[in-house]
Structure 1
């Protein structure tokens, strides 16, 4: 005879921790994400974190890769192709998690990334490699999105922030360790090995999630057709076309040095402008749930946060993608040593992100920390722009630290500022709004900085190199960054000085960008963030007056999930039959506290099909 203290669930009789036998009816029953065993949870995390680590490698290999094909003037395409795919296809994976389930959506992303990585390793030409990087980007964006969703499933609100921080550490490790390790392997065995050696780890990630990611989530399912209809295909396609056409224009005019009256320059510029206008029309007038939420464009705080995100991302990627090249072409360092100089930035980004989260969690404020540490990226970019061959070792290694730490703080606090000033029902839409600006800034940072770099480099080389075969020499130097180390002393000096001037111009541009971002953030007001509720909190307890913000200004009805299980391979919506009333009175009715992270609620991010929370981005 069982007592009240006896557990309702008996120990699992089989290895798969996501399945148990029901004692009452003898039927097999799958567990929810919060009910699975610790070992099962860690196996899932190992799978998704391995994929996150792999999705952040290779950037510092670009000079070596492009030099083999004599296409250093097209080096930016290796970055922009990946970022273009990530920016364009990432919004789809939220829907795919509902159509295909968590496991299949994640494995689809891993499969795309793995296939793209294999294609990179066997690429016979630069164009093939660029296409392969685009394929990697389709998977890379999905890896981050599905990993966030899966982590949000498996942890309570109290523990979720820590889990996301650990995921951020794996991402930073991929950026920090991927450079030097990739450079070391590239120096010894060639850059192709760097790609191909990742394949077994992708297989491991695929196997771990395939075997362990089998929990169920509560709710009411919808058919794939119903969910797929709500994807903003028009916004995705027009974004892809206008951004891609803009990249082609920059490449033709600045990288290829084609004149303004060339048909390719004119046509790509016209296509970019036309599809950008079409994108605006689709988002404002056509799309049911647009990627760019129009109602947020009418609000001051979201627009300022979006502008800051764009400028911060522009600064970050302008420097991160060209910083190692300075050490290879100016200081004549190997690829491994050049990549190693990114490690201090990755470490400082991890520390800055965790520090910002801890500070906001402890104080409930974000403006002071943003104003204090938000100026650090400007200082870091200024230190980088003033580097020279005679700089001290400490200066060369540590100058990038303020940039990484400051921008990590900025991105964390700006996310919170955005979420604190929009309705709770727009949490998911607001997060996507900020990510769209950030994604375009990333693409622009790589493409525009590369265009400026190539234009200045060509000009500086022509000033320093003259003679009958000057044009051919300049072409070879521009197309192969690794050629600099093997040039005769006089030509090497000219090449090193030209690269130094060109890269310094980009770093100064990044410095101006981050200063503009700081100025844009100044008008953003502070707002009290609620402290976490204590364990013995009851809904009847009085609330802090500052907590009664705009979120509760009007009554609204939200829904709570019922216990109808849906497999992780047929994800569901929230059942709307059980309403919970929220009011501004702060009385006995349930009130959901404002969250410190957009990933702290299934309602705000996961339940994309809910009619109230995470629903349509356009308001009538």
Structure 2
């Protein structure tokens, strides 16, 4: 059965549901691998070494995902959803196997890039496939169910990562993707008909590549600046390359027929502020995720499984905040208070985290994580609502994609910079350790893992925990600074009351958007 149209509306219900469940499974795989490594990473470092590369295991995946996400949707329009979706899953599955077979941190990071190149297509292809499966009104219901997939991955991921790494080995964090990937590929291959779009849009390859280069080079440079020792030649070359990439990107986007990031949307105040807030907030939240797990295992002495359980109520609080803020916005039409409250909760939680040590009760740490996660839930969907209602209908898709891209890039920056801050703090702490204590520690602080620290003599372990705690303070205060700037930007958002009904496209101004047409932005 071949479909030349752009939908699969006429498929038998059972076949539709098989494809739909396969799409959700693919989406779940991609989002799970952002969450699941958080609690498993300290165990990986214990075996593979190189604590200084800790942040790059997550950053590499996010960078690769961000680099290819803009392309997958249009590739699906050109070559059909089926081959593009299957390719993305196959690449992700091969990357997962490569991660499980990694023999060093460098090899693991390279495998995570491969995995991210596939993961970038899973969410995009899944949403596009669901749109092709169901009629518009029915589609809204099934897209809504998809939100549960993200929630489930955030709940299961940290717990599964901690339990698997502690019980049977960190490799199984990645190996579980292989049978799931095989089943999804088989389901799509046999159940999904080939579907292509009637119109085939052009792909802005130069713009996408220049944007990816700018972000990647920026992440590399940010970590170079924090690296111990004197700056090398690349510390001076990278900013030049970044500037050239950004200039080239702007020039390409100004003339591209279908740009990756239309520059016109950046002239909208709400969109520009929301993108900036999302970038900074993602640096502070996604960029902090893996470091919370390392902090809890190192400073408080909790094992990986227990740390995973600590993430469980925190994830639920993100869900509660997201749903609750959505309900309140629907009733009142006001969204501005929620990103403001989100930034306040985030910075307060991180300031209090600087007081946490091995004497802090578990319930106290759990309460802090719930506060932090509640703040995440208050801004994630709120800013999405803000940008989608600030632009004309024709720009909703690209604006939504831009927000997702900014969040991934922010997370990658945060993970890399926090890694540099932690390493710099440990190197500085090493200089404060006496020679006698250094000999008792056995290894430099930057090479100690939670397992190694727990095996040290009591006085040496206490010294290591103290130095790690101070190093983490730098990470937390950096997050506080980001939240302060984001709070200032959130206050600058216009206090718009969203309309109950969508304005006609003809009534909406070119830049002001739908909310502006009704509310007078």
* CA–CA separation in structure 2 for the residues paired with 1:401 and 1:551: 45
RMSD (Å) for aligned C-alpha atoms: 3.0
Q: 2:64 aligns to what?
A: 85
Residue matched to 1:110: 89
How far did residue 75 of structure 1 move? 1.0
Change (3 A) 1:471 1:102: farther
CA 246–481 in structure 1, closer or farther in 2 if over 3 Å, else same: farther
Instruction: Say if 2:419 is the partner of 1:419.
Output: no
How far apart are the structure 1 equivalents of 2:476 and 2:111? Answer: 29
Contact map agreement 1:313 1:445 (CA 8 A) in 2: yes
Q: Does residue 1:220 correspond to 2:198, yes or no? A: yes
Offset at residue 178 of structure 1 (A): 1.9
SS of the counterpart of 1:464? coil
Moved more, 43-52 or 306-315: 43-52
Give me the whole-angstrom Cα distance separating, in 2, the residues matched to 1:403 and 1:434. Answer: 21
Aligned equivalent of 1:475: 444
How far apart, in 1, do the equivalents of 2:509 and 2:51 lie? Answer: 58
Contact residue 46 and residue 450 of structure 2 kept, 8 A? yes
How many residue pairs align between the two structures? 509
Rounded Cα–Cα distance in structure 1 between residues aligned with 2:440 and 2:235: 22
Q: Is the 8 A contact 1:169 1:350 kept in 2?
A: no
CA distance in 2 between counterparts of 1:30 and 1:433 reads 27
Alignment partner, residue 485 of structure 1: 454
Which of 185, 209, 216 aligns to 2:164? It is: 185
TM-score of the pair, normalised by structure 1: 0.75
Match in the other structure for 1:175? 154
Distance 1:330 1:270, change over 3 A: same
Alignment CA distance shift 1:245-1:472 (3 Å): farther
Q: 1:50 aligns with which of 17, 25, 49?
A: 25
Gap runs ≥5 in structure 1: 1-17, 20-27, 533-546, 556-592, 595-620
Residue 215 of structure 1 and its aligned partner are, at CA, apart by 7.5
Paired residue for 2:310?
A: 341
**2:490 counterpart of 1:521:** yes
Per the TM alignment, residue 530 of structure 1 is displaced from its structure 2 partner at its CA by 4.1
Partner of 2:11: 36
DSSP-derived class of the 2:74 partner: helix
Mapped to 2, the partners of 1:355 and 1:82 lie a distance apart of 31
Q: Which digits, 9 at most, give the CA deviation of each residue in 1:261-313, with x for residues without a partner? A: x23433344433443443344334x5443323211222322111111111111
Instruction: State yes or no: 1:259 paired with 2:230.
Output: yes
1:112/1:136 contact within 8 Å kept? yes
Q: Aligned pair in 2 of structure 1 residues 130, 344: CA closer, same or farther (>3 Å)?
A: same
Compared with structure 1, are the counterparts of its residues 32 and 156 closer, same or farther at alpha carbon in structure 2 (3 Å cutoff)?
Answer: closer
Shift of 1:421: 1.8
Q: Secondary structure at the match of 1:342?
A: helix
Partner residue, 2:100: 121
- Contact kept, 8 Å, 1:117 with 1:199, in 2: the verdict is yes
CA distance, structure 1, for counterparts of residue 207 and residue 187 of structure 2 = 34
Equivalent of 2:241 in 263, 271, 280: 271
More helix by share: 2
Mapped to 2, the partners of 1:495 and 1:551 lie a distance apart of: 65
**Counterparts of 2:4 and 2:109, CA distance in 1:** 46
Q: 1:104 & 1:332 partners in 2: Cα distance?
A: 47
Q: Does 1:552 align with 2:507?
A: yes
Alignment of 1:512-591 (within 5 A): 512-531=481-500, 548=503, 552-553=507-508
| CA spacing shift, 1:253–1:301, aligned 2, 3 Å | closer
For residue 32 of structure 1, report the CA deviation from its aligned partner. 4.5
Q: Alpha-carbon deviations, 1:466-521, whole Å to 9, x = none?
A: 35966994536436443222222222111111111122221222123223222212
User: What is the CA–CA distance in structure 1 between the aligned matches of 2:310 and 2:118, rounded to whole Å?
Assistant: 27
CA–CA separation in structure 2 for the residues paired with 1:293 and 1:468: 57
Deviation at 1:142, TM superposition (A): 1.0
1:248 corresponds to which of 190, 207, 220: 220
CA contact (8 A) 2:343 2:484 kept: no
Structure 1 residue 148: Cα displacement: 1.6
Structure 2 unaligned spans of 5+: 516-521
- 1:332 Cα deviation (Å)? 1.8
Q: Which range moves more in the overlay, 56-65 or 474-483?
A: 474-483
Rg larger in 1 or in 2? 1
Match of 2:300 among 326, 331, 334: 331
The 1:66/1:392 distance shift into structure 2, 3 A limit, reads closer
Mapping 1:129-144, distance limit 5 Å: 129-144=108-123
> Greater shift after overlay, 398-407 or 82-91?
398-407
- Matches of 1:365 and 1:263 in 2, distance apart? 50
In the superposition, relative to structure 1, how do residues 345 and 151 fare at CA in structure 2: closer, same or farther (>3 Å)? farther
Q: 2:38·2:161 contact (CA, 8 Å) conserved in 1?
A: no
- Shift of the 272–67 alpha-carbon distance from structure 1 to 2, 3 Å rule, reads farther
Q: 1:475 to 1:291 in 2, by over 3 A?
A: farther
In the aligned structure 2, how far is the partner of 1:48 from the partner of 1:266? 45
| Distance apart, 1:70 and its partner CA | 1.6
Q: 2:287 aligns with which of 299, 309, 318?
A: 318
| 1:307 has 2:276 as partner | yes
Please say if residues 314 and 366 of structure 2, whose CA atoms lie closer than 8 Å, have aligned partners that are also in contact: no
Determine if contact 1:71/1:480 at 8 Å carries over to the other structure.
Answer: no
Matched, 1:356 2:325: yes
1:344-493 aligned at under 5 Å gives the runs 344-371=313-340, 375-467=344-436, 473-475=442-444, 477-478=446-447, 480-493=449-462
Cα-to-partner distance string for 1:182-210 (whole Å, 9 max, x where unaligned) = 22221222211222232101111222222
| Whole-angstrom CA distance in 2 between matches of 1:48 and 1:553 | 35
